[in-house]
Amino acid sequence: MNTSTPRIAVIGSGPGGLTCARILQRAGIDVTIYERDPGPGARDQGGTLDMQRDTGQAALLRAGLLDRFLRQSRPEGQDMLVLDQYGTVHQRHIAADGDQDAPEMDRADLRALLLDSIEPGTIRWGAALAEAVPLGQGRHRATFSDGTTVETDLLVGADGAWSRVRPLVSPHQPSYEGVVFIEISLRDVDEKHPEVAALVGRGGMFALGENRGIIAQRQARNRIRAYVALRTGLDWAERAGVAVTDPDAVRAHLLSLFEGWAPELRRLLGECDDQFIVRPIYALPVPHLWNTRAGVTLVGDSAHLMSPFSGLGANTAMLDGADLAGAVIARDTLLAALVSYEAAMLPRAARNAAGAHEGLTSAITGHPDFTEEPPRPEPAVASSAEI
């Protein structure tokens, strides 16, 4: 920009916010990230992500991080196996040597790569946004839970599904998609769970049946993370008489729901760790649109929360962050930057979110379609309740 340096505040240190900050800093533009977590290791970051060539990798290239990502990623993680509930193989994909279309990296490792790339002191940890109000002429005042305030020229909502910045541009909130993911994990799989390790292989495994499924992903450090998908109501545990605080009860209930499934698939439920994480799947309306507001915008899930069945949540968030930073750098005014950014981002997000909804609907259904390759679901991180 050829104006005085703006005060830019990014709320949230997910992949979209970090990518945006990295690219702004490379152009010499100051930015501060405000993150509610007390530190980078405060939460388990979830499963593995495939960084796709035209989205996540494009953003990493613009951030100057693509080569580092490719050195650390797992191209073999693109392997995919699709089964029915009886264990019949319907699709098998083995990644070719040198295939870099969508290599995998654990979400935690990707976040560490991005965190390491930004300048020390960029993130103010333990800063939970309590309220943001417009002050006129594109300026906003952000107030945090500890009572501190900051005035901004550009406020970027990168704060996820239940964004506190979103109400400044849109009245919409996420709604339940009718599917619950229950996250499970198995550690030291090659030694302790060799049958499960052999089933999942180097990449991912989908087992789909009537209104339910098991989706497993190989991660780094000899771990498998899986998602038990159920098309059900939010009150599923109450109706089943299951206390979600009782891992033994949850395990027994899941095994009963998957009665008759192939033994090798039920083994994931029987052998997994005693930590279950319940993740109802929420999404914003499709399309989620708004008129440009001076001094404020959204990236990632704040703008277009979608089901993980797009495989594009983190990829799209990072492209959002890169596009927003690029617009701020290129345009003469912040308002012109927001107009340019949102003109590209909103229709792209609408297309991806529509595909995500269709992917979830067609996979977790009474009649799964095994003729189409399912998208690689990203780790579900919204609205979790740990058991």
Report pLDDT digits (tens) over 179-234: 999 999 999 999 999 999 999 999 999 999 999 999 999 999 999 999 999 999 99
Average pLDDT over residues 354-383: 78
Helix (H) or strand (E) holding 281: strand 277-283
Q: Any alpha helices (H) in the chain, and if so which ranges?
A: 15-26, 56-62, 66-72, 107-117, 189-192, 194-200, 236-240, 247-257, 263-271, 301-304, 313-330, 334-363
pLDDT tens for 97-131 read 999 999 999 999 999 999 999 999 999 999 999 99
Phi, psi of 224 (to 5 degrees): -120, 130
Beta carbons within 10 angstroms of residue 274's beta carbon? 11
Residues, the chain: 387
pLDDT at 88: 97
pLDDT value of position 377:
64
Average pLDDT over residues 242-250: 96
CA distances from 364 to 50, 151, 231, 232 (A): 21, 45, 7, 10
Q: Which amino acid appears at position 337 of this protein?
A: A
Structure tokens at 261: 């499934």
Tell me the Cα Rg of the chain: 21
The answer to whether residues 115 and 18 touch, using CB atoms and an 8 Å cutoff, is yes
pLDDT class of 387 with cuts at 50, 70, 90 = very low
Token output for 275: 């930590």
Quick: pLDDT tens for 258-317: 999 999 999 999 999 999 999 999 999 999 999 999 999 999 999 999 998 877 889 999
Residue 292: phi, psi to the nearest 5? -55, 135
Look at residue 72 and tell me whether its pLDDT is greater than 80.
yes
At residue 41 the predicted structure's pLDDT band, cuts being 50, 70 and 90, is confident
The residues pairing with 180 across neighbouring beta strands, listed in sequence order, are 230, 280
pLDDT confidence tier of residue 87, bands split at 50, 70 and 90: very high
Q: Which domains does the chain have, with CATH numbers?
A: 8-76+99-174+283-362 (3.50.50.60), 177-282+365-386 (3.30.9.30)
Task: Inform me whether the pLDDT recorded for 366 exceeds 90.
Answer: no
pLDDT at 309: 80
* Confidence band for 379, pLDDT divided at 50, 70 and 90: low
Tokens in use for 151? Answer: 């005035």
Number of H helices, E strands in the chain: 12, 18
Place of tokens 């152009």: 27
380 has pLDDT over 90? no
- How many CB atoms neighbour CB 130 within 10 A? 14
Residue 345 near residue 327 (C-beta atoms within 8 A) = no
Q: What is the pLDDT of residue 369?
A: 79
- The pLDDT tens digits of the residues spanning 151-177 come to 999 999 999 999 999 999 999 999 999
For position 374, what pLDDT does the model report? 65
Return the bridge partners of 355, or none.
Answer: none
For residue 386, pLDDT over 90 is answered with no
Mean pLDDT score of the chain, rounded to an integer?
94
Task: Give tens-digit pLDDT for 3-34.
Answer: 467 899 999 999 999 999 999 999 999 999 99
